[in-house]
Amino acid sequence: MVVSTYSLAESKVVKNRLHLDVRVGTGLVGEERLAALEAECARLVALGAVRVRLLPADDDNESCIVMQDIEGNEFDLD
C-alpha cells in the first residue's frame, strides 16, 4: 500500500482524518477505465457509500470518482 499526502487548493469546513485513493482502474484508460470505476462505484453505493462527483480525464490525469464513506470521509476511486 502506498500512502501519499498533498495539499489541495480547495478549502474544507472539516478535514478528513484520512483520504484514500482506491486503485480500481490501474493500467486501464479511456472508456475501459471509466467502466471499471463505475462498476466499483455501484458496488460501494450498494454498501452505503455516496457518489460525490466524477472528475473527468484531462491532459494530465485519467478520470476518477470522488466518493464518501458512511461517516462523510471522502475517498477517490482511481
Structurally, how many domains does the chain consist of? 1
Length in residues, the chain:
78
53 three-class SS: strand
50 falls within a domain: yes
Residue 7 neighbours by CB distance under 10 Å: 4
Of the two residues 25 and 28, the one the predictor is more confident about is: 28
44 three-class SS: helix
Between the two ends of the chain, the Cα-to-Cα distance in Å is 14
11 falls within a domain: no
Structural domain boundaries enclosing 57: 20-77
Q: Give me the pLDDT at residue 14, please.
A: 65
64 falls within a domain: yes
Beta bridge partners of 50: 68
Q: What is the mean pLDDT of residues 11-34?
A: 80
